[in-house]
Amino acid sequence: MTTTQHPLGSPFSATSTADDVLAGLDLSGVTAVVTGGYSGLGLETTRGLAAAGARVIVPARRPGTARAAVGDLPGCEVVPMDLADLDSVRAAAARIRDSVAQLDLLMAVAGVMATPERRVGPGWESQLATNHFGHFALTCELYPLLAAADGARVVVNSSSGHSLTDIRRPDPHFRTGYDKWLAYGQSKTANALFAVHLDVLGRGDGVRAFALHPGKIITGLQREMTLREQIDRGWVDEHGHVIGADFKTPSQGAATGLWAATSPLLHGRGGLYLEDCDIARIAAPTEPMDNGGVRAYAIAPQAAADLWTLTATATTSDLHTPSTPAAPSSPADAR
């Protein structure tokens, strides 16, 4: 089937909820991994999959908090994992490989946004490391399980924030002039490009990949922002209450990811950027971010291949060959 980046006429929309998308589906026998699956959109994703009968594994930086959040949900289990620590990612992946024979869904929902400048690992910029490098390494480590499912889907949460910047190839780690929003935007472009090339590499094994913009939702993702910042952006009022008709509920925000994971309309398709429970259109370079759509640079095949090479080198990860924890890379390896 030809894969094209334009809407296909989904029966769902921006106002559809997780329950709407999953209505009538039986996911018994399906195994899913949901990063960040214990708060915000991730928790809504976990709830929806579990309610439909899936077994859901939730890797979590705060396992105690995660167990409390998902404790009453059937078929859910928590594995400790910190996306910013590749040894932790590999240890979590090893535990998952020991417990399941195949993986039908990998939902990369966890993320950070607009954080102060931080360095992790060998000096990596923390938003790129957490949002992209960590999910890249996890996917590579779990790839044999995805291939074994013969029809797995990988769903990566990007954002309209990708429109802030392409990959900053001369300086992806902001060695000079850190800007928290450009760093966030770059990580979200990386998420989109990751799905593009993963789909190229995985489709022969039945592994298809999608990236998506879940919509504007107030969740814990804003925890690094002050109340004043959120007020000045028109997101909340002086009491922290959400304002504006263009914000979604968490359930509506989770709907596009769940649609990507389960919709028969996406059978035989992949490498696409989605929004509002449909394939997104390609946006013009000068369009405002809030107009929706995906920038052409975030789905460009060669850019996706180039980023894959950069990331595989930096993380010493790649498909097909689950690794043992490697010695830390030098900062020069990540440039």
Give the active site residues.
Answer: 184
Both structure tokens of 335: 């440039």
Q: Distance of CA 6 to CAs 3, 9, 12, 222, 282, Å?
A: 9, 9, 15, 30, 7
Query: 82: closest CA among 143, 130, 34?
Result: 130
Distances (CA, A) of 140 to 89, 90, 190, 332: 10, 10, 16, 22
**Residue 284 CB contacts under 8 Å (≥ 6 apart), including other chains:** none
Task: Say if residue 170 is exposed, middle or buried (CB neighbours under 10 Å; 0-12, 13-18, 19+).
Answer: exposed
The CA radius of gyration of the chain, in Å to the nearest whole number, is 18
Residue 110 · residue 292 · CB < 8 Å: no
Greatest Cα-to-Cα distance within the chain, rounded to the nearest angstrom: 52
**8 A C-beta contact, residue 127 and residue 188:** no
